[in-house]
Structure 1
Amino acid sequence: MMKLKTVFFSLICLCFFSAANAQQSARLTGNWEFVRMDLGGVWEAVRPVGKGNPEEMPVWEKVSLPHCMNARDAVDPDVNYYQGPGWYRTQLAVNNPYTGGRVLLHFEGAGQKTDVYIHTVKVGSHVGGYDEFTIDITDAVEAFKRTDVFNKQFRGKVPLVIRTDNSRDLEMIPSSLSDFTVYGGLYRYLNLVYTPAVSIDKIFALPTVDNAGKLGKLVVKARLYDPAKKNSGNATVRLTDPGGKMIAQINKELSSLSGDLLLNEFSVRSPVLWSTDNPKLYTVSVTIKNGNDSSVLTERIGFRHFEFVKKGPFMLNGKRLLLNGTHRHEDHAGVGAAMTEEMIRTEIKLMKDMGVNFIRLGHYQQSRIALNLCDSLGLLVWEEIPWCRGGLGGDIYKEQARRMLTNMIEQHYNHPSVILWGLGNENDWPGDFPEFDQQKIRVFMKELHDLSHKLDDSRLTSIRRCDFCKDIVDVYSPSIWAGWYRGVYTEYRSITEAEYGKTDHFFHAEWGGDSHAGRHSENPDNQLQKIRTGNGGDERAGDASLFGGNARVSKDGDWSESYIVNLFDWHLKEQQNMPWLTGSAQWVFKDFATPIRPDNPVPYMNQKGVVERDFTPKESYYVFQSYWTTKPMVHIYGHSWPVRWGDEGEAKTVKVYSNCDEAELWVNGKSYGAKKRNVQSFPAAGLHWDVVFNKGDNSVKVIAKQKKVQVEDSVHFRYETEKWGKPAKMILEKVKQEGDIATVEVKLVDDKGIQCLDAAAFVRFGMIGDGELIDDLGTSSGSRYVQLYNGRAVIRVKANNAVNKISVKSEGLKTVFIDL
């Protein structure tokens, strides 16, 4: 067992590298067909079909990969999302350039059970929706090429058929009780790989450095793939520094190719250290030569050391680093889990631009693309397996957890970003099995902890919210939701200090609350008067429900952006004065789909993100920027608040979020003076002004200064002084036209035509015609059934060059229509 005092680190991930005389890899993205149902058998996907043959299924649709079976229905307000089988088919032109080489299918992830066929021959299976796996199809391809149908029916192509299945299964992790959608489909990239007869499966590169950062050491091991039992070869290992200069190279004859082979131990004097501000990466390249063919695998690594000080802060390379973190789900509007590389890059870059230096990947191992970005951008990572809620199953269940932990560690071993291997989440949450035995859960948690350190003793283990296991893992996060599920946000520090005292190595994962994008409030904290204080900040069974139980903000609050920025602001202010705090991770960066929240303002969405599901930033994104970034920025609260309200002559608060030293505010051309930023002055670090608005239109501008740098921001809105009554009718109108896309807006008004700015009823959009609603996106402006935000809601419509009739209805009011 390693000592926690100082932890040395750096690691790797399986990736095929395309180079001359090396294995060659290509993504299989196009020419796929898909059907969302089960077949009688694989032959239904490959049997000969003639024109007009009534036996051919008519429901195959053309798709591209990555593809998620639940891209839309995960947030469809009117159905339960599909959990069951789906079939994919394509045809491959297989031409392996290597004599005696192998043909592999490398899956970067597929959910949740996968069966793979070449024609009708099953060549492999995998259980687990989030780890990578590789299936060798060489023998099946060669056998199929010798059949008559290869040339006659398939004209020299090889039919590939894949069945995925995300059906509910109690003996599989994650539990369907989890607060996220258990997606199905080929939702990560699939690669066709050609390798020589002897190829590199994985390399394991472990860089360490002494406390002074002067002497580095790199241990390089390799695991080879040698199905023909060649049992000999030559290895070349090259080490290149962050500037591209090769600093070491060795050659080694191999008399055995089995097991994990130690290739070399390098010494590196005064290595350039990897850090969150300066994520410098070295390159390790391993070449295995057998005969005339070579196999090459390249990994990027980082020298650094970290420490979770006992009863103290987090240290990176000998200096304290406050971990400013968030969480990530693989989930996006319109595609579900099937995020493209470009989407993943956009998301991780948005996190970095918000000032994040730490990400917890919840609640499963994620795409290699995300991990590579964390390495290159300087984001530390807690990655975990999906043992999430439900209890503990039997032998099949436990074997999957062991296998996924092993896969996660081996596949992501070389990433310098990873510091914590998460063993589970909310394992104190029963529900899947008649027995809930805490002692058995403790025994299995200890087994996973030991397995993690056996596989990788350079990192620590962690879990969140399972108090009866907190003594087993290296780093523990209790449940603290002050101001949302329990208590008020001003209790955050006292609750956190109490929990910190109960464990040696504390981290605060998950805090925050939901906000309905576009909903704002003039008095967001009024709801706190009803909340009982002094009862802790942990969430408990039923707290996510919008009905019944004790008074709590999550149930009784207004879910406004105005409230949540105050909650975030207070937490971030307090964290600046906790010298012992390792750090925290706000839950969650982006809104995501979940089957257990059908009654939320956007049904089936967890709305705790600081950006919407389509990357649209909420107001809270800029609160974090103001605390966590150094590049000068300024943001006036209220860019999505078109109408403010109050009495004529009443002073209203304008909040400005900025990391600059001072800011000056102008309202309707009049200066309200400059203010100095003070982190401990709440709200908005002292950058708040009380202003009397004009009745009607108003313009607000701010100029912030940081030394010689000046940045500015502005907003425009209407100030409503008339009092509105009970909603009497809806008004539906087109507010924007961009090409073939129109945006329509509904407003609820009283009998005098005044907009009911506190109206939060559900409305349902519909349409008749050849166009389509752009809905099932899981956003406040991309859902046909959605709660109003300040008495209004919008949706976009694709006209398809046709005349369409749009409708909107709400309970108790007359349905209204508009022609487009």
Structure 2
Amino acid sequence: MNLQCLFIIFCVSCVQSSLYPKDSLTRFTRSLDGIWNFRISPIDDQNVGFKEKWFASPLSQTGSVIPMPVPSSFNDITQEKSIRDFIGWAWYDTEFYVDPSWLNSNREVILRFSSVNYAAKVYVNGVNVTEHIGGHLPFEVLVKENLISNGVNRLTVAVNNTLDEHTVPPGQLVWKNGTDYPENFYVFTPNFDFFNYAGIHRSVHLYSVPSTFIKRVKLASDLIYENSSGLINYALSVNLDESTSESDYKVDLVIKDAEDKVIALYAGDYSGSVTIPEVNAWWPYLMNPKPAYLYKVVFEISKDAQLVDQYEFKIGFRKVEITEKQFLINGKPFYFTGFGRHEDSNIRGRGLDQVLNVKDFNLIRWIGANSFRTSHYPYSEEMMDLADSQGIVVVDECPAVGLQSFDNIKLNLHRQFLTELIDRDYHRPSVVMWSIANEPSSTLSSADNYFKTISSHVKKLDTSRPVTAAVSVQLSGDLMSQYLDVIMINRYFAWYSDYGEVEVIKPHLVNELRRWYKKFKRPILISEYGTDTIPGIHASPSYMFSEDYQTECLMEWFDGFDQLRADGFFVGEMIWNFADFMTAQGTTRVYGNRKGIFTRERQPKAAAKLLRCRYLNIHNASVIDHNMYCPAR
């Protein structure tokens, strides 16, 4: 099934918008989250829902349904293997009422999905209103003309999680028909080591805006060292009422400090620059006594002195720079201490979980980390808000994981996802780099021009942040790193090779990274390293999968990191992984990937307390507890 052929989209009502739905004096939001109806398509007739027009009436009238929470992954909600491992078209629907005032002639109504994985067809009252390819990023559409005010409305969504050689990320679906396997037996193999969770993963909103409304803002903030001032550059895109033009409206900016005090008012235009004197800089956690200082920027458009629309952002003034050896934030060297992560939890899968998000940030700060990578896809806007407000630096990664071939279909999708990601997160102070890929087959000759094109595309969209990617191939054949500003390297010495031989870690690490720096002369960090560990298993001498082996390996890695830090070009260490996470079944996975320093339930393994000692000491942080393991020296 080629999803690209199924999704030829013509949508006159689609809205390109990176604005998260929020209430204001002019905007009103309604969440459609809750328990929806759900059904998977039969394996032997995946298109039956379209042929029988399941979208034209309630799902419950065309067959059996089960309750399904939104947001969540559908895979782990039931006891059915057929749903957990399902690949293909799954159907959702729900019903809702609309405030009649929302349907007035001077209002518009927008339907927004924050994430549906992987592809979606959306119907309102039986009409196909929009389609989208790609999980993890938002999409929305104007729907006022499809809604009714005097009765119940129905929202139907068809979701497909099939991945193939042309999707980003890629996968392979092989049918075993005509063999000794059961009828309609298939094997799905993703090109990545995490479970292919699917469904409506993040919140669904219906929101009302004026007929003339702010639909997009490109907003950048910068720190000017000389006079400690902050620079705001902005460009508004406005959806205009048919009877008006841009010249009919006035644009104003209201700047507020962290205490919500108005510090500046500016009468502006649809684009421009604003300078704020003597600002408080946004600093990462543990880098300054007052980290994560945020200002509010409120954009207002008015007509004849009457407010028409209003939207508020939170921004931070900070500057990111790189030299041949250093990564700088606000002119000071920054050293990444953090993790690769996953949006993954028991039962919910990849579904938005605000409770878990807050718990994770408490653990990140407790352990002394200052950063994480959104491996291997964009994380929720709610997660990114927490990073902005708590001073946790983010390497923002697109879904291009495990690319093993390079063609124009994949290239266009890759560029689309990066455009959507940068559009969504451009204003965020926590985001300091764009990661364009994780572990691609970058030794293929076709990778050269492919990543040249991708890197150039990102730099056209954003000149203020470095471009990076995570490399897994060897130095001699890599064709991607030449187009990166900062090089991230994934390595698993004494785990996927030289099993059990911890003494190989330090010489392999130090010697190899010195060769990378000698060739490219740019900052380097380790973006993945680690070992699978089953909590409670101990062995002396240490043995693979034991907690003792994980901690011994970490100490070897730490010694190597310290040697590289002394060389000056090594700018960070991100362990794999923050927490255990689910994967496809296989002989090398004991109920998922166990490389987390926390369990999937967020309980610490011994390595977590060892890592806490290291991270806090690196940052010279003072703590009042002894809840860490510090090795004797």
With the shorter chain as reference, the TM-score category is 0.7 to 0.9
The structure with the largest helix share of the pair is: 2
- Residues 35-74 of structure 1 correspond to what in structure 2 (within 5 A)? 35-37=39-41, 39-41=48-50, 43-44=53-54, 46-47=56-57, 56-58=62-64, 60-71=65-76
Matched-pair contact (CA < 8 Å) for 1:104–1:138:
yes
Task: Decide whether the 8 Å contact of 1:66 with 1:338 is kept in 2.
Answer: yes
Distance 2:79 2:235 in 1: 42
- More moved, 383-392 vs 568-577: 568-577
Alignment of 1:19-418 (within 5 A): 19-20=24-25, 22-37=26-41, 39-41=48-50, 43-44=53-54, 46-47=56-57, 56-58=62-64, 60-71=65-76, 81-95=85-99, 96-97=101-102, 99-141=105-147, 156-176=151-171, 177-212=191-226, 214-226=228-240, 228=242, 230-232=244-246, 233-252=249-268, 261-262=270-271, 264-277=272-285, 278-290=291-303, 294-310=308-324, 312-418=325-431
CA distance in 1, matches of 2:80, 2:258: 44
Structure 1: which 4+ aligned runs deviate by more than 6 Å?
73-76
Say whether the 8 Å CA contact 1:213–1:317 is kept in structure 2. Answer: no
Offset, 1:387? 1.6
Contiguous gaps of at least 5 residues in structure 2: 1-16, 172-190, 286-290, 499-503
Report the alpha carbon displacement of residue 123 of structure 1 after superposing the two structures with TM: 0.5
Deviations 1:404-446 (A, max 9, x none): 00000010011101111111111117xxxxxxx8333221211
Determine helix, strand or coil for the equivalent of 2:345: coil
| Cα distance change on mapping 1:246 and 1:479 into 2, 3 Å | same
AA paired with 2:598? V
8 Å contact 1:213–1:273 — kept in the other structure? Answer: no
Q: Return the structure number with greater strand share.
A: 1
1:370-419 Cα distance to aligned partner (Å, 9 max, x none):
11111111111111211222423543322211110000001001110111
Q: 520, 523, 527: which is aligned to 2:541?
A: 523
Evaluate the alpha carbon distance shift between residue 308 and residue 213 of structure 1 in structure 2; reply closer, same or farther with a 3 A threshold.
Answer: farther
Q: Distance in 2 between matches of 1:346 and 1:226?
A: 42
Please give the alpha-carbon distance, in whole angstroms, between the structure 2 residues aligned to 1:589 and 1:337: 15
Whether 1:621 and 2:608 are equivalent positions in the alignment is: yes
Match of 2:465 in 1: 459
**1-structure distance, mates of 2:192, 2:398:** 13
- Give, in angstroms, the shift of residue 447 of structure 1: 1.3
Provide the residue aligned with 2:484 in structure 1. 473
Q: Once the 2 structures are TM-superposed, how far is the Cα of residue 68 of structure 1 from its aligned partner?
A: 0.8
Give the partner amino acid of 1:173: V
Task: Give the whole-Å Cα distance in 1 for the aligned partners of 2:296 and 2:227.
Answer: 19
**What is the CA deviation profile of residues 775-795 of structure 1, one whole-angstrom value per residue up to 9, with x for unaligned ones?**
xxxxxxxxxxxxxxxxxxxxx
Which whole-Å CA distance do the structure 2 matches of 1:271 and 1:439 have between them? 48
Quote the offset at 1:227 in angstroms.
6.4
Aligned to 1:507: 525
Secondary structure, in 3 states, of the residue corresponding to 2:440?
strand
Residues 186 and 48 from structure 1, CA distance in 2 versus in 1: closer, same or farther, beyond 3 angstroms?
A: closer
Conserved 8 A contact 1:314-1:583: no
- The CA distance in 2 between the partners of 1:229 and 1:377, in whole Å, is 44
2:179 aligns to what?
A: none
Mark the CA change 1:474 to 1:368 in structure 2 (over 3 Å): closer, same or farther: same
1:10-51 per-position Cα deviation (integer Å, ceiling 9, x unaligned) = xx963223022x1111221124111122553373355379xx
After TM superposition, the structure 1 stretch with the greater mean CA deviation from structure 2, 488-497 or 461-470, is 488-497
Aligned partner of 1:531 in structure 2 is none
Deviation at 1:63, TM superposition (A): 2.5
1:496 equivalent in structure 2:
513
What is the SS of the residue equivalent to 2:439? Answer: strand
Counterpart position of 1:570: 556
1:485 is aligned to 2:496: yes
Amino acid at match of 1:157: V
Worse-superposed segment, 619-628 or 227-236: 227-236
**Cα distance in 2, alignment partners of residues 101 and 92 from structure 1:** 19
1:13 and 1:413 in contact (8 A); partners too: no
Q: 1:365 and 1:588 mapped to 2: Cα distance?
A: 17
* 2:579 equivalent in structure 1: 590
Change in 2 beyond 3 A, CA 1:114/1:226: farther
Measured against aligned partners, the alpha-carbon deviations of 1:523-581 in whole angstroms (never above 9, x if no partner) come to: 10xxxxxxxxxxxxxxxxxxxxxxxxxxxxxxxx5211111012123323443452312
Counterpart of 2:263 in structure 1: which amino acid? Answer: I
One-letter amino acid matched to 1:477: M
Q: Where in structure 1 are there 5+ consecutive unaligned residues?
A: 1-11, 146-150, 255-260, 430-436, 525-556, 636-655, 659-683, 687-820
Helix, strand or coil at the partner of 1:471: helix
Contact 1:332 1:339 in 2 (8 A): no
Measured after TM superposition, the shift of residue 205 of structure 1 is 2.0
Q: Does 1:558 align with 2:576?
A: no
After TM superposition, give the deviation of residue 633 of structure 1 in Å.
3.4
Deviations 1:799-820 (A, max 9, x none): xxxxxxxxxxxxxxxxxxxxxx
Q: Residues 72, 495 of structure 1: CA spacing in aligned structure 2 closer, same or farther, 3 A cutoff?
A: farther
- Decide whether aligned partners of structure 1 residues 600 and 485 sit closer, same or farther in structure 2, where only a CA change above 3 A counts: closer
- Residues 558 and 575 of structure 1, relative CA distance in 2, 3 Å threshold: closer
Deviation at 1:247, TM superposition (A): 1.9
Contact 1:518 1:561 in 2 (8 A): yes
Residue 669 of structure 1: aligned partner: none
Residue 218 of structure 1 aligns to a residue in which SS?
strand
Aligned pair in 2 of structure 1 residues 395, 230: CA closer, same or farther (>3 Å)? farther
Q: Of 423, 430, 449, which aligns to 1:443?
A: 449
Which letter does structure 2 place at the counterpart of 1:275? Answer: W
The structure with the largest alpha-carbon Rg is 1
Instruction: Tell me the SS of whatever aligns to 1:344.
Output: helix
2: CA distance between counterparts of 1:442 and 1:220?
34
Deviations 1:200-237 (A, max 9, x none): 12222222223446233211221223363632322221
Deviations 1:478-532 (CA, angstroms, capped at 9, x unpaired): 33323322352232333333333332221211111111122111210xxxxxxxx
Give the SS at the match of 1:40. helix
Contact 1:16–1:297, Cα closer than 8 Å, also in 2: no
Q: Distance in 2 between matches of 1:48 and 1:24?
A: 27
Q: Distance in 2 between matches of 1:227 and 1:328?
A: 44
TM-score, length basis structure 2:
0.83
Q: Secondary structure at the match of 1:388?
A: coil
Question: Is the 1:240–1:247 Cα contact (8 Å) retained in structure 2?
Answer: yes
Deviation at 1:351, TM superposition (A): 1.5
Counterpart residue identity of residue 19, structure 2? L
Superposed CA deviations along residues 450-470 of structure 1, whole A, max 9, x for unmatched, are 111111110111111152111
Whole-angstrom CA distance in 2 between matches of 1:315 and 1:685: 32
Q: Is the 8 A contact 1:484 1:513 kept in 2?
A: yes
Partners of 1:29 and 1:584 lie apart in 2 by 38
Whole-angstrom CA distance in 2 between matches of 1:478 and 1:123: 43
Relative to structure 2, which stretch is displaced further, 204-213 or 39-48?
A: 39-48
TM-score by length of 1: 0.65
Residues in 2 aligned to 1:213 and 1:515: alpha-carbon distance in whole angstroms: 51
- After superposition, the CA RMSD in angstroms is 2.6
Question: Among residues 565, 587, 595, which one is paired with 1:599 in the alignment?
Answer: 587
- Counterpart CA distance in 2 for 1:502 and 1:229 is 60
